[in-house]
Amino acid sequence: MKLSMAAPAGTGPARTGGTLMELVRFGIIGTAAIAVEKVIPSMLSAEGLEVVAIASRDLDKARAAATRFGIERSYGSYDDILADPEIEAVYIPLPNHLHVHWAIRAAEAGKHVLCEKPLALDVKELERLIDCRNRTGRRIQEAVMIRAHPQWDEILDIVASGEIGEVRAVQGVFTEINLDPKSIVNDASIGGGALYDLGVYPIAAARMVFGAEPERVFATSDFDPVFGIDRLTSAVLLFSGGRQATLVVSTQLALRHNVEIFGTRKSISLSNPFNPSPDDHCRIVVDSGSKLAAAAAETRLVAPADQYRLQAERFSAAIRSGSPSPIELEWSLGTMKVLNAIQRSAECGNWETV
């Protein structure tokens, strides 16, 4: 059993070129569940940054969150937090349809932007963000936190080594049950649905493993008769050379997070590729297929890591060092092209060019 260790807790990019960095001062725009349950606690433990303010359209909510986390300032409007001259960067966990508007407002106010996925709802919106970045010189990054987790570094190293042979297929499944009528995921008018909420991750997995963009997609969706959102979407992504990726995402199926990578010599199986606990090892199962029922499989462990913390640290380090952003907008544009092609295919029932 191989143990691949991630960075130990308490370490991070606190220095650049041997010089202690000045902390990047963050403001949080919104009090969404992902922010208060996952991202803010991780950012508070991160190195190279500090969270100094939080805003909500409801000042009481902002004050409650500030008190809970010991954040210095609270604001009752998003404009107020953008007007704070001490804030250098913002994290945006707002509903999907508000991402582009507030990312642009923040960048125009001189703030760097880390924004939840999906960064936009369509290609034209994302191109507006690219124009805004180029015009303002501010960083705008999509918060695809799996890109920061060491288990994906390990997976890509295995693929690149040739150990599993030529990768010909990738399968990704991300399903969960969310029947809450108040959930933004169940509101089609603001960018809800399984594809927007969950589809980014298996699409990212396939693009990372193949190191390429799909050429065509074929998809089908089932829509909830009450919410109007896609509650189940399945798709085939066709890459050059006949390579294929398949995905299943749903907001109304039993919880399942899984990625399978199939090479000509071996396969890789990941049981928690998208949302691993920061306290548990990640398990990468490499199977030669020489025996049935995975009897010949080898489990390799990746040490526990907080992907939300690592995401914030790397984004902050890039701001301070002037190095490229960990996820550039052009990469997010590739994701959006795939998402929109899947939507078109599901609507018309034909293969669609990405």
Q: Any idea which residues carry the catalytic annotation?
A: 117
Quote the Cα angle for 147-218-190, to 5°. 60
Element housing 319 (H / E): helix 307-321
Q: How far apart are CA 62 and CA 60, in angstroms?
A: 5
Q: Is 230 left (phi over 0), alpha (psi -120 to 50) or beta?
A: beta
For the chain, the residue count is 354
Helix (H) or strand (E) holding 196: helix 194-198
Max Cα-Cα span within the chain: 63
Instruction: Count CB neighbours of 127 within 10 A.
Output: 14
The H or E element containing residue 103 is: helix 99-108
